[in-house]
Amino acid sequence: MLSPQVIDLARDSVFAFDGDNIIDNTTQVKIGVDDHQEIPIIVTFFNLYDNSTCSPVETFISYVLALDIWVVGVENNLDTVLVDRTKYVGLVQESGTANNMRQFKINEFCVDNQSFEDVLMRLPYQVEIDVPGGSFIRWYDTEAHFGNTDFIMFEANAYEGGVGTTYATDASRVTHRGPVHVYP
């Protein structure tokens, strides 16, 4: 971890919250190990770069008695909505009402995996030939959104011939790409 406000999805395994912050919404009393070991939650992140809300993620928050903290595993689908080199805030709510947990905020943090190429390798991409503006390699948030420009995350020109001036006329003819940039 670079600092508490920087998340590296390849290295950081949990989000941690002080035990005093997880409280009963009615009594305002701290919820601890005596009450619950694990609470189902919904985490919603808000992207501060484009003012958008990420898809809510259902997961669990677990109590660690020895440290009096609650933790949420990053690998529990949180990593699927967080994009490298992006700043977020978040909201944690109980999924259901069984524990009466008061919702709380996740303060501003950023994701920095220190390797843009690693991020590109994890994202689904598609070579798009003869679309408005040329031919491109486009990276999407999920495979289900291929072709939908609302979900393009990154884009690079797709060239053939080794010169960088001729757009590819077929996906099999792509010899190289131009610089990758955030879409649009």
The lowest-confidence range among 27-36, 104-113, 129-138 is 27-36
8 A C-beta contact, residue 137 and residue 155: yes
- pLDDT of residue 2 exceeding 60, the answer is no
CB atoms within 10 A of CB 26: 8
CATH class of residue range 6-116 = mainly beta
Domain ranges of the chain: 6-116, 123-178
CB-count burial class (<10 Å; 0-12, 13-18, 19+) for 50 = exposed
High-pLDDT (> 70) share of the chain, %: 93
Give the global pTM: 0.61
Per-residue model confidence (pLDDT) at position 33:
65
pLDDT in tens, 40-93: 999 999 999 889 998 899 999 999 988 889 999 887 677 778 887 889 999 999
| Joined tokens for residue 35 | 């009450």
Q: In whole numbers, what is the pLDDT of the chain averaged over residues?
A: 86
Per-residue model confidence (pLDDT) at position 4:
62
pLDDT in tens, 87-116: 999 999 999 888 899 999 999 998 887 667
Interatomic CA distance for residues 44 and 93, integer angstroms: 8
